[in-house]
A and B are shown apart, each in its own frame.
Chain A
Amino acid sequence: MDLIDRYRLNGSVPRAVRQPQTAEEVAEALREAARSGWAVVPWGSGAHQSIGYAPARYDLALDLTRLSRVLRHRPANLTIRVEAGIRLADLNAMLAEHDQWLPLDPPFGDQATIGGILATGLSGPLRARYGSARDLLIGLRVALADGTLIQGGGEVVKNVAGYDLPKLFHGALGTLGVIVEASFKLWPRPKAEATWAFSFSRAEDALPLTLSMLRHPGFPLAVEVLNARAWETLRGTLELPEDPGARIWVVVRAGGWPAQVERIGRDAVAAASEARGKDRLPEETASALWARMASVAILPTPAPTEALGVRLGLLPSQLTACAAALESTEEIPVIWRAHGTLGLIYAEGRGPMETLLRWAGELRSFTLAQGGHFTILGGLESAKRTLGLWAPLRPEVEVMRRIKAQLDPEGRLNPGRLGWA
């Protein structure tokens, strides 16, 4: 396969690929692109290139995976500064030696690079305890569209000097600048861990458990809710408990000192009074499960043709109503998963596009009526165009547009990714 084919995006290939090895080389590549008026798409692992609209123009693929160094780890300060192309998995393998970790577990986290995780703003189950990358990020170095290198934040855990630029670039889908370095606060690894799985006949039966975990002062590491179909996809390859009568599964991961872990488990079991099954998972099963969990109900890149992946942002208490809306059509086998204490729901439907569009359209109306937000995470470009990438579009978009115009006036970074930017 041609090198250039690895960077195919929605059917098109770039004119050129650059694989810079340093921040300065990234800046140089961007200056060169600026001279030619080229549109640039930054690349990490490529695992999430299907998020957002396909870029309207695509001349240069800027592959950052050779920027993969750890620049400074201060174990006694619990901070690290890395280059953006480093893979999360490699970073955490290195940190494990110090009993520390960057507690992020985004979808396809085994491949994902730090830069890609930051740009997409995707999070995983551990977010229940540690927040998202947004909360752990303390500094950034970014190459702007014209090749200027700038920095925001720093390598200290508290910092209010100037605007909080790291927040702006987090989740901006590479439309404002190319992240070349990032600093994070780290966490000590929990001394002990345990995982429980609960099965329920109905979503409303699961709610007391998820809501009690939300307000649990022991802060469970993760509280994931899955529908039966999602659970079955996992059970295909893992030795998980079985319950043919279950519609909903809740998986609780507790971490901390051993006594705390046991206490959280006891409370979870007590709150799951309506559960059909309650199982403490063997350690190996649990760790295999958590390695897979974040990618459940997230479509791979490139997305299969007869599939659509969406994300809903609601309140944790709205999960019951949402479960009903998600599975309202018999025609589409829906797989869904939620961060139970956060109200973020990921769903994947498969079937003929017309039916999928109807399903997604109804979900969008439902979510907006509940005061939440709706995003298409994966699927065909035509589906995104038909439904609109995200909703609601509020007047704040005008401000976002002005920011884009200030930082990338020629609109050459990932043009059109967000629709308006």
Chain B
Amino acid sequence: MKRAQALQELLEVFGPRGVLWEDHHLLLYEYDASIDKGRPDFVVLPTSTEEVVAAVRIANRYGLPVVVRGAGTGLSGGAVADQGGLMIVTTRMRRILEIDPVNLRAVVQPGVVNIAVSQAAAAHGLYFAPDPSSQKACTIGGNIAENSGGPHCLAYGVTTNHVLGLEVVLPDGEVIEVGGAACDWPGYDLTGLIVGSEGTLGIVTKAVLRLMPMPEAVVTLLAVFDTVDQASEAVSAIIADGTIPGAIEMMDHTAIQAVESAKRCGYPMDAGAVLLIDVEGLPEGLEDLARHIARICEHFDAREVRIATDPAERERLWSGRKGAFGAMGRLAPSYLVQDGVVPRDQLPRVLRQIQEIGRRYGLTIANVFHAGDGNLHPLILFDERDPELTRRAVEAGAEIIRACVEAGGTLTGEHGIGLEKRDLMPLLFSPVDLEVMARIKAAFNPENRLNPCKMFPSTRMCLETWSRRKARMEKPIRYRITPAPTDAEEELWI
């Protein structure tokens, strides 16, 4: 009854082409690129801020939780409607509103795909620096929510360093502006707080981005090593030497196997590890710098270092890295990717631990990651259809994260907490740390309507509150593989 009414109201605002409510449509929106699933009750596809506000108001009237979704490439379940409710999909808000080539700014709607910003800026010799490997699909709204990174964030910083201002719809439907095209707006840095808040504080409907000048020259090095140990020692040495390249990415033997069998990019099949290094900027002195880095690699027993300046050759070397996640399909039907970060001088030790964990759980783990930042991406290979394997993969993942935290690192460098890692938050944060975050959330999202139960350790209260509300609409459709919440937890951060 209520469901029919809510649908009626949504249809009035969005028309039949702007709302999805039938199961066979909703099915397409029940997952992201992580392993959790949950079906929303309705999906709407707004084209403007006003429509987002209208959707939020309707959701509030019917007690529906709101989940925002960009392209659904998220790797932590952030865009999964595990409590059902109204999903706001931003893919029709994909206008680039302004490119200011003089002041190096772009103003975009949240559904604009990451690479489209760089494409629009390219005519002016500019680009948007954060370059997640998913950049051909993921949206700026998703990048902002996750504070996404990418290979070249080593030199230029992650999304938060490139976002100057936002227009945000708060969970009560109010629209606020934070930051702006100028630097350093007075007052608290709400822009900095909203970036990385995983869609729990507000809905981003517009963003002012900082553009950067394209490098005049880029040299790519492929350094081939017999062991992961040697490669990671080389990474720490390059950082310690005081030359910060544009990017340093690593792939281990397993990853190389997958990548090379998917497409030939010229990585030696028998290598233990390869490093892909970009040095870029002015052409002056660049090749000297590349040779300097090559020598550091050789000092750590690189058996071969290739230096590529030709764009086609560079593209080929990088294509393997960019397609690496996809290539895992060659090795196993599913993968679970972790995203822990460790201090760069801890890389050799933690990578050894990861291999040991893989052996112990009887799982193959491939490593393809942002080595220069110490941001690991162990890809745990398994088969989602096999519950026992799935359980082992999830447990191995948690153990890897624990190893990262013990090495002085963190749970996630760019993929976010979402559903997937929320119960691991206490590894890093004390109850009072979490309480402060819950208080901040309460300042924006006091009734927890927006992306409920994400990012904070799951509590019965959160899950039950929403299940009750949901039950009023319809039976919940939810299937999750994360462990059920324990009842010992505090009940604060709903």
Residues of A within 8 A of B (CB): 74-79, 99-100, 121, 123, 131-132, 134-135, 144, 148-152, 154-165, 167-168, 170-172, 176, 187-189, 211, 214-219, 256-260, 262-264, 313-317, 342-344, 371-373, 375, 389-390, 394-397, 399-400, 402-403, 405-407, 418
CB-nearest residue of chain A to B146: A160
List which B140-185 residues lie within 8 A (CB) of chain A: 146-147, 149, 153, 157-158, 160-161, 170, 174, 176-178, 180-185
Which chain A residues border B213 with CB–CB below 8 Å?
A: 215-217
Which chain B residues border A74 with CB–CB below 8 Å?
A: 343, 345
User: Are B442 and A406 in contact, with the CB atoms below 8 A?
Assistant: yes
List which B186-221 residues lie within 8 A (CB) of chain A: 186-190, 192-193, 195-197, 201, 213-216
Q: Which of B22-30, B277-285, B356-364, B460-468 contacts its partner? A: B277-285
Alpha-carbon separation in the docked complex, A256 to B281 (Å): 11
Is the C-beta of B110 less than 8 angstroms from some C-beta in chain A?
no
Which chain B residues border A405 with CB–CB below 8 Å?
A: 443
Which chain A residues border B185 with CB–CB below 8 Å?
A: 313, 373
Question: Nearest chain A CB to B371's CB is how many angstroms away?
Answer: 12
Residues of B within 8 A of A (CB): 100, 102-105, 125-126, 146-147, 149, 153, 157-158, 160-161, 170, 174, 176-178, 180-190, 192-193, 195-197, 201, 213-216, 236-237, 239-244, 281-282, 284-285, 288-289, 341-346, 370, 373-375, 408-417, 421, 425, 428-430, 432-434, 436-437, 439-444, 455
| A to B CB contacts below 8 Å, 9 in the list | A135-B157, A158-B149, A188-B244, A189-B242, A313-B184, A342-B183, A343-B103, A394-B177, A399-B176
Q: Among B149, B192, B345, B455, which residue has its beta carbon within 8 angstroms of that of A162?
A: B455
User: Are B189 and A168 in contact, with the CB atoms below 8 A?
Assistant: yes
Question: Nearest chain B CB to A251's CB is how many angstroms away?
Answer: 19
Question: Nearest chain B CB to A320's CB is how many angstroms away?
Answer: 12
Beyond the given A217-B282, A343-B183, please list 11 additional residue pairs across the A-B interface where CB-CB is below 8 A.
A135-B161, A154-B408, A160-B147, A160-B414, A163-B197, A163-B440, A172-B188, A188-B242, A258-B285, A371-B181, A399-B444
User: Are B242 and A260 in contact, with the CB atoms below 8 A?
Assistant: no
Which chain B residues border A219 with CB–CB below 8 Å?
A: 281
Q: Given A171-B189, A217-B213, A397-B187, is A77 in contact with B440 using a C-beta cutoff of 8 Å?
A: no
User: Are A395 and B284 in contact, with the CB atoms below 8 A?
Assistant: no
User: Are B184 and A121 in contact, with the CB atoms below 8 A?
Assistant: yes
Q: Given A343-B182, A399-B444, is A158 in contact with B373 using a C-beta cutoff of 8 Å?
A: yes
Interface centre among B195, B242, B428 (most CB of A within 10 A): B242
Q: Among A75, A79, A216, A406, which residue has its beta carbon within 8 angstroms of that of B439?
A: A406
Q: Among B186, B410, B425, B443, which residue has its beta carbon within 8 angstroms of that of A390?
A: B186
CB-nearest residue of chain B to A374: B186
Which chain B residues border A264 with CB–CB below 8 Å?
A: 282
Alpha-carbon separation in the docked complex, A407 to B188 (Å): 13
CB-nearest residue of chain B to A390: B186
Q: Given A150-B433, A375-B186, is A161 in contact with B104 using a C-beta cutoff of 8 Å?
A: no
Which chain A residues border B201 with CB–CB below 8 Å?
A: 163
Alpha-carbon separation in the docked complex, A160 to B237 (Å): 26
Alpha-carbon separation in the docked complex, A158 to B196 (Å): 12
User: Are A399 and B190 in contact, with the CB atoms below 8 A?
Assistant: yes
User: Are A400 and B244 in contact, with the CB atoms below 8 A?
Assistant: no
Which chain A residues border B196 with CB–CB below 8 Å?
A: 160, 163-164
Which chain A residues border B343 with CB–CB below 8 Å?
A: 74, 77, 79, 155-156
Q: Given A155-B408, A188-B244, A394-B176, is A399 in contact with B103 using a C-beta cutoff of 8 Å?
A: no
Q: Among B176, B182, B239, which residue has its beta carbon within 8 angstroms of that of A313?
A: B182
Which chain A residues border B413 with CB–CB below 8 Å?
A: 156, 158-160
Which chain A residues border B374 with CB–CB below 8 Å?
A: 77, 156-158
Alpha-carbon separation in the docked complex, A260 to B243 (Å): 14
Which chain A residues border B425 with CB–CB below 8 Å?
A: 161-162
Q: Among A79, A164, A187, A400, which residue has its beta carbon within 8 angstroms of that of B160?
A: A164
CB-nearest residue of chain B to A211: B102
